[in-house]
Structures are given as structure tokens and as C-alpha cells.
Amino acid sequence: MKIKTITKSALIFVLALIAALSVCSCGGGGSKTPAVADIAKAITDKYPLSAAMAEVTGEDKIKNVYGFDASDYSEIAAYVNNSGVEQDEIVIVKASSPDKVASIKEKLENKMTAKLNQTKNYLPEQYAMIEKCEVAEKGDYVRMIISPNADDMVSIFNAQFGE
């Protein structure tokens, strides 16, 4: 009878250990590497794009709008408002390598600075919105989210990494 109790206790211990190890390995500690398209979809599912928002696609257009060479990134999702007034823009880039991150971030910061300069004297509400936003990096990913909902969109972005 004592052996059965020890065996049951040992079995319970082993099962608990396996469960604990599987939880630890699945947690990833924020090291998920989501697809850029999945991040963009999570954001646009909650905040659908307006009719004025257009996706920036094609190597030539991406190079023209952002200055990125195709070799700089492995994935990109970019949406820009073409209304001429609204300055909303969502850009999520996965750099092709860690050494490309700083260059991508700098180009997006330059883009944001240009938007600030364009709106400063003519569109004060848009200027204020842009001013509250930021360009940021997370590992090999760089994002520029300009929107009245930017704070929540950034939270959605971060959630894709398990945070």
C-alpha cells in the first residue's frame, strides 16, 4: 500500500513537472516573431482602414516613399492616408538583419519629421497627433504608427509579441 502511494505521488510530481516545463517553453518570454501581415491585420481588424488609406506595395514605391532598399527588409506592411489632409500612417517593417534596424528607424523618423514640418503651420490638429506618436523598434521590427488611436495600436502591436 505504501508503494502505491509513493508511485502515485511520483507520477503526480512528474506530470506537474512536465506541465510546468511545457508552460515555460510555450511562454517564449516575449520572443515571438510574428509575421508583419499578422500584426497589421490585428491592428486593422480593430481599426479598419478608411477609404482614404492605401497600402504601399511594390519595391519601387516602397523605395520612393520610405527610402528602403528591398535588401533592407524581409517583410513590410505600410498604409498611408492619401486624403491630403489626414496624416494617418501605419508602417511595420521587419528588417532583413539586425544591422538594418537603425537605418530603417532613421528613415521612418525622417518621414515623421517631414510630416511634422508639413503640418506645423497649416494643420495644427494633425501636427498635434503626429507629435504624440513615435517610431520605435522591437528586435528586428520597426514601427511608425501615426493615428489618433496610436496608443492602442501600439498595444496591439506589442501583444503580437506576447506582451
The residues near 161 (Cβ < 8 Å, ≥ 6 apart) are 30, 31, 32, 34, 138
Q: Mark whether 128 and 147 lie in a shared domain.
A: yes
**Domain around 76:** 32-159
Q: Mark whether 78 and 23 lie in a shared domain.
A: no
Q: Mark whether 92 and 106 lie in a shared domain.
A: yes
Q: Could you give the number of structural domains in the chain?
A: 2
Distance CA 65, CA 132 (A): 22
**Residue 112 and residue 135 in contact, taking contact as beta carbons nearer than 8 Å:** yes
The residues near 137 (Cβ < 8 Å, ≥ 6 apart) are 101, 105, 143
Which tens digit of pLDDT belongs to each residue from 43-62?
999 999 999 999 999 999 99
Q: Mark whether 64 and 144 lie in a shared domain.
A: yes
Which tens digit of pLDDT belongs to each residue from 71-89?
999 999 999 999 989 999 9
Q: Mark whether 14 and 65 lie in a shared domain.
A: no
Radius of gyration of the chain (CA): 22
Q: Mark whether 40 and 27 lie in a shared domain.
A: no
Q: Mark whether 59 and 138 lie in a shared domain.
A: yes
Q: Mark whether 95 and 144 lie in a shared domain.
A: yes
Q: Mark whether 10 and 80 lie in a shared domain.
A: no
The residues near 129 (Cβ < 8 Å, ≥ 6 apart) are 87, 146, 147, 148, 150
Q: Mark whether 131 and 89 lie in a shared domain.
A: yes
The residues near 33 (Cβ < 8 Å, ≥ 6 apart) are 139, 140
Q: Mark whether 19 and 86 lie in a shared domain.
A: no
100 pLDDT band, cuts 50/70/90, is very high
In 3D, which of 86, 87, 75 has the Cα closest to residue 41? 75
- pTM, to two decimals: 0.80
pLDDT at 69: 95
5 pLDDT band, cuts 50/70/90, is low
Distance CA 43, CA 71 (A): 26
Phi, psi dihedral angles at 156 (to 5 degrees): -65, -45
Which is more confident, 24 or 45? 45
